[in-house]
Structure 1
């Protein structure tokens, strides 16, 4: 039910007064023209966020699906269906909904345009079982998770479901800034929102940010909450220490969504990004140490996660990066990519990098130079050492390679070939065989620029355990030593 404009205005005024009484920042009450009713849900175990403000409610909406959610036995609650853009090669409209819950919820999805014969919910390992009644798909969730709902194999016009765990707002106090539901723009014509040391910035569900944070030379900063960034620039953590970004979603970022550069102790948790723009990487790591990426869901038209040494404003080595419990869907390029950029004049090392518990829902890349769900391309005299890919599940490949390990000279980006890849471990890696994957490859560049000590432990491709090089599955080029298979 739509409220009258006067009711919304009165409610906003009351909310603003309450927030000011609590001593929150003025950003907390920078509300736009939106219905605040959805922000005040009484059930803490099922949080439905408000629709966008009136001037955006239609332009952001997708009519392809109607989605509802409820606690078992409770009333059905409507969700707002966002339109998102996917796949730079074949631009297409897809859909997205978001809610938070604890315990168990039931979800109902109605496809609004045409009949369907089958429906699939991925990742498959989550084993979400569906029932169909009267053309509506029903399923139950007993834990927070991110999903893709696909009708008749349509992976372009699909529905993304972000079923999250609630993030409680921080207690009011010094250094606490709250952006409530509604539209927010940076102050005074700036291109980014302010962020300083020793701050906790909370983006409430339903907060729509037309701009981004770019914290520079800060420490002890938290940016948390399930707000959304709309067509924003990249959120870059630059020259900073102890920064947490947890919860936000990036819709159609202009280029990349998130990055850290020359920083330490950076955590990107429960972050989501969807877009089709050129160079729309999900998360970049430039010359950082002690980085933790956990529970990401990234569908973009470039690398899902790319880990480099010296690059742009990041200078130096990259060490101790952990990427875990995430879902990647690169409509273009790599899912997991390491090593291309560095400093030929002052060679860098990338070391101690772990990818664990990752689902790759799809991979598509036509250029052999950039193919690989799991890829290391050591360039710019980089040394890449001690990289682990464990518990990786690749679901579908349109075109590309499962594994691509090479010391390279990329004429477009590099000023010298890479120096060395040493110590790469693949453990419990599986590819279902759906789609058409080209042969994986391992190759050095020259006798003094080799690949060494690569281990395959329980790697299965289309149900076949990898026990050695094999035609159409794994090619081993020159200057490779120390291969082992278990």
Structure 2
């Protein structure tokens, strides 16, 4: 029997959606398995329509001292109005970030109201509190939904799915399979794509408290769209020895040691778009050889991202490689564009850097572009950390070099950060050809390297 694929344009909607509406929330009877947070009451409506309830999920943030924040989600296909009521204490100030979104609000009693013209991912903070804030995810409307499992369709409906009898608490996904997590679905297990191809993981469901969220190893042609990972033990998405991975509309929270967001090792052809990552380790980390995977990482495109590193780096490149190789491995052809970095907080100096290209283990990093990056806050850290390095905790050899990095249209507003670093390792392992084009700090363009720490193993640094 053919899968019952429901196309919105035909008006055949699930019972938990309202027919012909362009605003979809997930009703209360579908919310099982994840605690509610009563700090806020959030309602949404189309302009002039009836207010609709959302569910305020409890999400945990900040490994340094784990705190309970909030999250709501809904899908919108036309402008919507949002009402947020603060239930504990009075409102004295409001920040809606990323600030570049320019969201204007109206304060009425202990509520704020604002309009969203398009889907976007926001942090709403009251009275300067960034540890108990509201994460508001206005998703685009799903273009594809399913009603049940059929041939090549693995369906998870509303409710909690905890497959206790599976090895390592993981669900293995075979080739040529679409996995659909319906709105209200909660999976307490890792989704494993191993030695597979043509796999799609889509929907509005949540992967909750798993060892890892989604693991992609020795696979190709994997597509992820709309999924949220809450508080895994380790990575939200892990890629090893894989190619042609697409990640869209992805959200992640973590609060444990080594609970990175998206980490890939020896992968090629990655396309990552429209993500929100708040992690207690690196939000995005790109490596070469580690564990069972060998070879370089290349052709990675990241755009339209919101990154919040409660601990470690928002973006980290080059830390693991193959020191036993005669030449070493390359990490190259990487683009990061249109990114808002909401926070970096890292008290361990070698691991600082909102944008860190730190090469060890005979790695060479080259042809990397950072463009249109907006940094809003650094508690502890630095903006740029560019170095050929030997880290005895992880490396067995220094990196081979860094050649060809461009930073264009980078802004930062704040004080108290450490000076950015550009260090080569020695005469044979240098940093070369670094360009800073339109770097604006506290409203002033950077015109020299006087505020950088640069050693003698660096050549051809250009300030435009």
Q: Tell me the TM-score range normalised by the shorter chain.
A: over 0.9
SS of residue matched to 1:441? strand
Distance in 2 of aligned mates of 1:468 and 1:38: 61
How far residue 37 of structure 1 moved from its aligned partner, in angstroms, is: 9.0
> Structure 2: where are the runs of 5+ without partners?
6-12
User: Per residue, is there more strand in 1 or in 2?
Assistant: 2
Q: Find the counterpart in structure 1 of residue 26 from structure 2.
A: 49
CA gap 1:281/1:457 in 2 versus in 1, 3 angstroms: same
Q: 1:327 aligns with which of 293, 299, 306?
A: 306
Distance in 1 of aligned mates of 2:87 and 2:145: 39
Any idea what the Cα deviations from partners look like across 1:359-389, whole Å, max 9, x if unmatched?
A: 0001111111100000011000101111111
Q: Find the counterpart in structure 2 of residue 84 from structure 1.
A: 59
Q: Find the counterpart in structure 2 of residue 478 from structure 1.
A: 456
Q: Find the counterpart in structure 2 of residue 60 from structure 1.
A: 35
Moved over 4 A (4+): 21-25, 52-55, 170-173
Distance in 2 of aligned mates of 1:327 and 1:130: 21
Please tell me whether residue 167 in structure 1 is matched to residue 142 in structure 2.
Answer: yes
SS of residue matched to 1:271? strand
How far residue 195 of structure 1 moved from its aligned partner, in angstroms, is: 0.9
Query: Is residue 37–residue 58 contact of structure 2 (8 Å, CA) maintained in 1?
Result: yes
Distance in 1 of aligned mates of 2:44 and 2:80: 7
Please tell me whether residue 456 in structure 1 is matched to residue 436 in structure 2.
Answer: yes
1:23-172 equivalence runs, <5 A: 23=3, 39-51=16-28, 56=33, 60-170=35-145
What TM-score does the superposition give when structure 1 sets the normalisation length? 0.90
Q: 1:375 aligns with which of 334, 356, 360?
A: 356
Query: Is residue 24–residue 177 contact of structure 1 (8 Å, CA) maintained in 2?
Result: no
Distance in 1 of aligned mates of 2:89 and 2:27: 28
Q: Find the counterpart in structure 1 of residue 224 from structure 2.
A: 245
How far residue 313 of structure 1 moved from its aligned partner, in angstroms, is: 2.6
Please tell me whether residue 193 in structure 1 is matched to residue 193 in structure 2.
Answer: no
Any idea what the Cα deviations from partners look like across 1:442-466, whole Å, max 9, x if unmatched?
A: 0001111110000000011112211
What TM-score does the superposition give when structure 2 sets the normalisation length? 0.94
How many residue pairs get matched?
A: 451
> Structure 1: where are the runs of 5+ without partners?
1-20, 26-35
Query: Is residue 50–residue 181 contact of structure 1 (8 Å, CA) maintained in 2?
Result: no
Query: Is residue 376–residue 404 contact of structure 1 (8 Å, CA) maintained in 2?
Result: yes
Distance in 1 of aligned mates of 2:221 and 2:30: 34
Distance in 1 of aligned mates of 2:138 and 2:386: 35
Query: Is residue 170–residue 200 contact of structure 1 (8 Å, CA) maintained in 2?
Result: no
Query: Is residue 37–residue 50 contact of structure 1 (8 Å, CA) maintained in 2?
Result: no
Q: Find the counterpart in structure 1 of residue 387 from structure 2.
A: 406
Distance in 1 of aligned mates of 2:65 and 2:158: 33
Query: Is residue 52–residue 183 contact of structure 1 (8 Å, CA) maintained in 2?
Result: no
CA gap 1:105/1:38 in 2 versus in 1, 3 angstroms: farther
Distance in 1 of aligned mates of 2:139 and 2:145: 18
Distance in 1 of aligned mates of 2:32 and 2:195: 36
Please tell me whether residue 309 in structure 1 is matched to residue 284 in structure 2.
Answer: no
Please tell me whether residue 182 in structure 1 is matched to residue 159 in structure 2.
Answer: yes
How far residue 51 of structure 1 moved from its aligned partner, in angstroms, is: 3.2
User: Per residue, is there more helix in 1 or in 2?
Assistant: 1
Query: Is residue 2–residue 151 contact of structure 2 (8 Å, CA) maintained in 1?
Result: no
Query: Is residue 146–residue 155 contact of structure 2 (8 Å, CA) maintained in 1?
Result: no
CA RMSD of aligned residues (A): 1.8
Any idea what the Cα deviations from partners look like across 1:47-85, whole Å, max 9, x if unmatched?
A: 1013366763xx611010000001111111111000111
